[in-house]
Every structure is written in C-alpha cells, then in structure tokens.
Amino acid sequence: MIVQRKGDPRKSTLEACGLVDGQPTGKHFQIRIYDEIVVQNSVTTPEMIQKTTEAFRLSDNLGAEGGTLHIVGTKYHFNDTYSEIERQGIARPRVHAC
C-alpha cells in the first residue's frame, strides 16, 4: 500500500509479509509490527519452534536503527518463540487474562 508522502521513499508506506515463509530481504523499516508470530501449527515439534524462533532472529535485520518494534500474539507452548523473546528482554510482556 502506498500513500502520498513527502520526499521520494524507496519503500511502500505499508508492507505485509510472512515471517517463516516470504520474509523480505534488503529492506529496513522504521516500525515493525509482528502479529501472531507463533500459531498453533508452529509448536507441534521442537524443530518447528526452533524454525520460528530462528526466523524471528533473522527478521531483526529488517529493522532500521532507532526503529520501533511491536509484538502481538498468543502463547501456545511454554517454550515457544514468545518465551524466548521474554527471556532475552527483546520485548516486555503485557499479559491479559481471557
């Protein structure tokens, strides 16, 4: 999606892509919003959890210096990617009971 902006930016105003499949290369974003990094099918085996966590680590290269990171999601496993994000202090959890 592209809206009119000042200057001549090389990137679209809004872009969406997959984390594990379809991750872009060569771009650096000021604001990155991750929505549902972990899904029910990505916690079925330890290998799938590792694959998702590694894809998240690689996606850090997409951020611009001084950029903002927002992560929204549901925990499906005690040792999933969200647990790793908390352990490393990448993001502060805000837990809401259902």
C-alpha span between 13 and 5 (Å, rounded): 8
Kindly tell me if the per-residue pLDDT of 1 is higher than 80.
Answer: no
51-68, pLDDT tens digit by residue? 999 999 999 888 888 889
User: Strand 29-35 and strand 63-72: pairing?
Assistant: parallel
pLDDT (mean) for 74-96: 90
The pLDDT value given to residue 22: 85
Q: What is the pTM of this model?
A: 0.83
For 66-71, the CB contacts below 8 A with 24+ separation are 66/30, 67/28, 67/29, 67/30, 67/31, 67/32, 68/30, 68/31, 68/32, 69/32, 69/34, 70/31, 70/32, 70/33, 70/34, 71/33, 71/34, 71/37
More confident residue, 11 or 27: 27
Band of pLDDT at residue 28, cut at 50, 70 and 90: confident
Contacts of 93 (CB under 8 A, 6+ apart): 82, 86
The pLDDT value given to residue 10: 74
